[in-house]
Amino acid sequence: MNKSILIAALAAAVAMPIGAKDRVTHNPDVTNTDAILHVWSWNFPTIAENMKRISDAGFTMIQTSPVQECYNPKGSSKKIFDEDVTEGNWYYYYQPTAWKIGNQIVGSRDQMKVMMDSAAKYDIRVIVDVLPNHTAFDVDAVSEDFVKAVGGRDKLYHSQGLNPVKDYNDRYQCTLWGSGALPDVNTENPDFQKYYMEFVNDLLSLGVGGFRYDTAKHIGVHSDPVDTASGVKENDFWDVATGRKAVKGVRLAVPYDDLFVYGEILQDRNVPEAEYADYMGQTASSYGHILREVLDKGNAKGVDLVSWYHQAAPEYLTTWVESHDTYANAHESAHLTDEQIRTAWVFLTARQNGVPLFFSRPMNSTRKAYWGDNLLGARGNDEFFHPEVAAVNKFRQAMKGQKEDIQISENGELLMVNRGKKGAAIVNISGIENFIDLPTGLPNGTYYDEVYGKEFKVKKGRLTGIAAPHRTYIIKKK
């Protein structure tokens, strides 16, 4: 790091952002009730057509794929993934060419408006996946209007923005070089900030209720190195994006606290999680990894499933069993069966905190054919409205105000989330039938689960019954 960058970084580090919100101190009385459906690669008409089904399944929010103009080679909008790279790839919409609403995958601005009207009808909050950090690999595909708006091509990227990151734990490289080799936008350029905020405000004018910030950890906070070579004086993108300051007369159009915003801040060494928490919620990626390891083993014995493994308070974490990246990018989670994912979803969603996100896998996908029907824009498979998924989503809302108590059987194959004295979620993560005998706060009596009508008994603070392989049960106090 050169001397000017080091001095600027140290100076910025002593000043905390004005208006910061405490997202680090946990309030044990808070209970989260929302659940997000990630309608990955669905287009706007498909989302609108399925809004009632989404609502009936107990989801309160949806997260769309990126909606800005993106890389669009001829014939590229057909398949989710094409090894020959001729009929499309899901990651094209993660390669912006301009920040204007509408692309070949999700649809037009007018189609988005129809989808937003449908969401409002069913009281579903819409979160849009936004990605101000980078552009398409092909810099010549970037819109000339966009280049002009930011002051020219030399103002578009950080001074080292075309260099691919080699060490993601080096914050200089992480925030100022190209992540995934994608050209790194100069997010501190006021002209870019103005241009980007006009896009955000257009989304808000359609009724969008929040954002997922892609590659958020690659956009610097105040303690990070400053790109002085590009004329940058401070890392103020997040101050602008969250409405703390205006840029060239443009400011976030709605109160920031009215929005649901979280950043894709994948956990690793040297990530300033506490500082990002001043601005937004974050992803609990380490917890998701631990959950998947438990699923692989079919056993949680000796595993701490209570801790969230994060510096931020759990009420501000977005959680998942799998994400689109773990499924589609590295296929880290793609081998897990739908049943396995479902069991972990029930456990995760029954918990008191975190806001869980359910990734919608492609229609007719299998553990050998991950892409299924392989059609961009089409609805995902039926798992998002499986009765067990819907039951726990609704259980989550019904348990508002009830604190959690997590129990794991001695053999590690049964998990139970008690919620005060009002309910419990029972999860068998193994492939064999198990007898359950665990502590609960439910009153003495006989209970029948919400989905299968399976009988469980509570006597003297212990819940007993039989749990089928890879099966979950939701029981509530009558």
347 closest CA partner among 358, 335, 362, 361:
358
End-to-end Cα spacing for the chain: 63
- CB neighbour list of residue 451: distance below 8 Å, 6 or more residues apart: 387, 388, 391, 472, 473, 474
Let me know if 293 is a catalytic residue. no
- CB neighbour list of residue 419: distance below 8 Å, 6 or more residues apart: 350, 352, 395, 399, 402, 403, 404, 405, 425, 441
> Distance between CA 22 and CA 25 in Å, rounded?
6
39 closest CA partner among 319, 291, 324:
324
Let me know if 170 is a catalytic residue. no
Catalytic residue among 188, 236, 239, 264: 264
CA 216-236-130 angle, 5° bins = 35
User: What residue type is 117 in one-letter code?
Assistant: D
Catalytic residue among 69, 184, 188, 214: 214
Helix (H) or strand (E) holding 295: helix 285-297
DSSP string for 365-381: --SS-TTTT--TB--B-
Residues with a catalytic annotation lie at: 214, 264
